[in-house]
């Protein structure tokens, strides 16, 4: 099974990009894939193309470094293609938040960013990792 990537426009209170059906192995692979974003200004990770990720309905998520913690932004004229733009420190936080999911018997879910959506510069779309299949 793969990590499932999908856009849920009507999440609980806001739209969200969900990475679900996480296991410790998948969380570790995601963490390794995102690690270059902590130090490399030019790094871009197309999460939807990673071999352990299965996009639903063509969902696309590209992670990159930005001068501000912008968050996930819907690309204009698309229904589910996103850029996820954070500072180096923002990516460090994401890696820290992924850490518990790399441990055996990890379940639950985690917002991958600031606790408060108002901490993002322009985005109201949350990115969530969940150990549950297509749920959080």
Domains and CATH numbers, the chain: 3-130 (3.30.1360)
The pLDDT value recorded for residue 118 is: 45
Report yes or no: 55 and 63 within 8 Å, Cβ to Cβ.
no
At 128 the three-state DSSP class reads: strand
Report yes or no: 4 and 22 within 8 Å, Cβ to Cβ.
no
63-103 pLDDT, tens digit each? 999 999 999 999 999 999 999 999 999 999 999 999 999 99
Residue 120 has pLDDT above 60, yes or no: no
At 32 the three-state DSSP class reads: helix
Per DSSP, which regions of 1-136 are E strands? 3-8, 16-20, 44-46, 53-55, 60-65, 71-74, 81-86, 109-111, 126-130
| Percentage, residues of the chain above pLDDT 90 | 76
Question: In terms of Cα–Cα distance, which of 96, 101, 66, 57 is closest to 84?
Answer: 66
Beta strands 126-130 and 3-8, pairing class: unpaired
């Amino acid at each position: 099974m793969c990590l499932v990537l999908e856009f849920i426009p009507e999440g609980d209170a806001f739209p969200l990009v969900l990475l679900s059906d996480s296991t410790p192995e998948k969380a570790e692979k995601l963490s390794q894939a995102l690690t270059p974003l902590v130090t490399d200004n030019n790094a871009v990770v197309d999460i939807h193309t990673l071999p352990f990720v299965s996009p639903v309905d063509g969902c696309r998520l590209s992670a990159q470094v930005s001068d501000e913690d912008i968050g996930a932004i819907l690309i204009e004229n698309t229904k589910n293609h996103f850029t996820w733009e954070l500072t180096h420190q923002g990516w460090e936080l994401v890696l820290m938040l992924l850490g518990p999911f790399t441990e055996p018997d990890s379940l639950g879910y985690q917002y991958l960013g600031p606790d408060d959506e108002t901490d993002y510069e322009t985005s109201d779309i949350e990115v969530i990792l969940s150990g549950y299949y297509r749920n959080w």
